[in-house]
Amino acid sequence: MELYSLTIHQLKEFLHKKEVSVLEVTRAYLERIKEVEPQIDALITITEEFALQRAKEADEKIKNGEAKDLTGIPVIIKDNISTEGIRTTCSSKMLENYVPPYNATVVERLLEEGAVILGKSNLDEFAMGSSTENSAFKTTKNPWDLSRVPGGSSGGSAAAVAADEAAFALGSDTGGSIRQPASLCGVVGMKPTYGLVSRYGLVAFASSLDQIGPFTKDVTDCAIVLNTIIGHDPMDSTSLKIDKPDYTSYLKEDIKGLKIGVAKEFFSTGIEKGVKETVQKAIKVFEDLGADIIDISIPYLEYALPAYYIIASAEASSNLARYDGIRYGHIAKNYEDLIDMYMTGRSEGFGKEVKRRIMLGTYALSSGYYDAYYKKALKVRTLIKNDFERAFEKCDVIVGPTSPTVAFKIGERTNDPLAMYLADIYTVSVNIAGLPGISLPCGLSDGLPVGLQVIGKHFDEGRIINVAYAFEQANKFNAKPQAIGGAR
């Protein structure tokens, strides 16, 4: 078995027993990147020199008996998470040459553990998209089928893990940007409870919705990474002070008597037949494991998507106002006066989708329309949150499909924004309510991965991991993407 195909917990065992060095592991991953990256275009920046330096330092830690869970484990960071001295572009011309002078808190925590950063991953510009086609630099391809999208906005991170370019990756989830690409690429992706993971150093899209989370090869790895990245951060005013649990203690197969809710709204029109059948088979697995399947309803779920796009776009309009070419970002070379400089610079620096959302958000916040749109969307947000609270009075977790479809063809939806937005129909409600959710592969439809989403109550990541792990052990997903070259 190749080193790059191992999980975090397998690598950890080899490294701690000194059966292999971090330098060997890092070189194996860098070689893998050279081999498959030309096909999938998952990365914006490859930090080979920095990675090899970190690998030598990690080997010293292990030698001195200072190894931690992620010491020597190779990781890729989504390119909207700040990395000191390493370009952080947000896949936008606006920040094409931006090099942060500081690390995001999550990056700092990974470095303290001794993780090895291999590079920065591609994304939809400023995390606005569901396919990673909105990047200013490249379109990432799905390792399962190079003619298809990997999902978005964290498509580069998901594709990198699926293609074994890293043992794990970090992404950000504003309306499904971790869970949806995890589903389309056949990996595990988790969006933690809002406020559980520090957002300090995450380039803001929609501040009340954004959350950083991990992509991993299995649920065990997800628990390991979560242990490192959660925790209060005084640099983030929305960061919460809670006791830090050990999420690996929830890696148990017993879910007998657990009440699993299935919302009828998750199986309404728009879901592909193959996806529906695969997820229904997955629900039967829970039944076989002794869980109680409870029918529930989330009546206001149908309003989640329009409410999300108003709230997210309004916050994006506000957050992206700082990119004016003076304080931040691209500056126009030719302009007549100050106003022309702003207009030309922002027109050149932002892509089509970002401009669309800025205009939508500015309109929703404008005088005369604030009450009709933004204020109403916030009221719908409360109704959706209340729906989930009522649902959780009947069940412990909620399961359903992560995405209504498998990975769609590149270019298929680029001229139809509404069809693109519908890719997030099952994920946005979780962000609106601030809940935790995980996506894990549950089977194939037409040879492409289908993701199962498990949603929990606030701070109930442990139970989510328990349910996901029990399913994973009972329903082994051993399929691997065949579209990319190289031994596996």
Q: How many residues belong to the chain? A: 488
Residue 253 · residue 208 · CB < 8 Å: no
Task: Indicate which residue of 78, 191, 217, 457 is catalytic.
Answer: 78
Residue 109 · residue 229 · CB < 8 Å: yes
* Phi, psi for residue 137 in degrees, rounded to 5: -110, -35
User: Can you tell me the distance from the alpha carbon of 201 to that of 438, in angstroms, rounded to the nearest whole number?
Assistant: 23
Task: Single out the residue of 213, 214, 211 nearest to residue 194, CA to CA.
Answer: 211
**Joined tokens for residue 204:** 């803001």
**Joined tokens for residue 63:** 């030698």
Residue 394 · residue 259 · CB < 8 Å: yes
| Beta strand extents in 313-469 (DSSP E only) | 397-401, 437-445, 448-455
**Joined tokens for residue 345:** 């610079």
User: Can you tell me the distance from the alpha carbon of 35 to that of 46, in angstroms, rounded to the nearest whole number?
Assistant: 13
Our measurement of the distance from residue 195's CA atom to the centroid of its chain's CA atoms, rounded to an integer in Å, reads 15
Per the annotation, the verdict on 352 as an active-site residue is no
User: Can you tell me the distance from the alpha carbon of 183 to that of 79, in angstroms, rounded to the nearest whole number?
Assistant: 20
Task: Indicate which residue of 91, 130, 131, 153 is catalytic.
Answer: 153
Q: What is the SS3 assignment for 171?
A: strand
Per the annotation, the verdict on 268 as an active-site residue is no
Per the annotation, the verdict on 445 as an active-site residue is no
Task: Indicate which residue of 21, 91, 177, 239 is catalytic.
Answer: 177
Question: Would you please indicate which residues are annotated as catalytic (active-site) residues?
Answer: 78, 153, 177
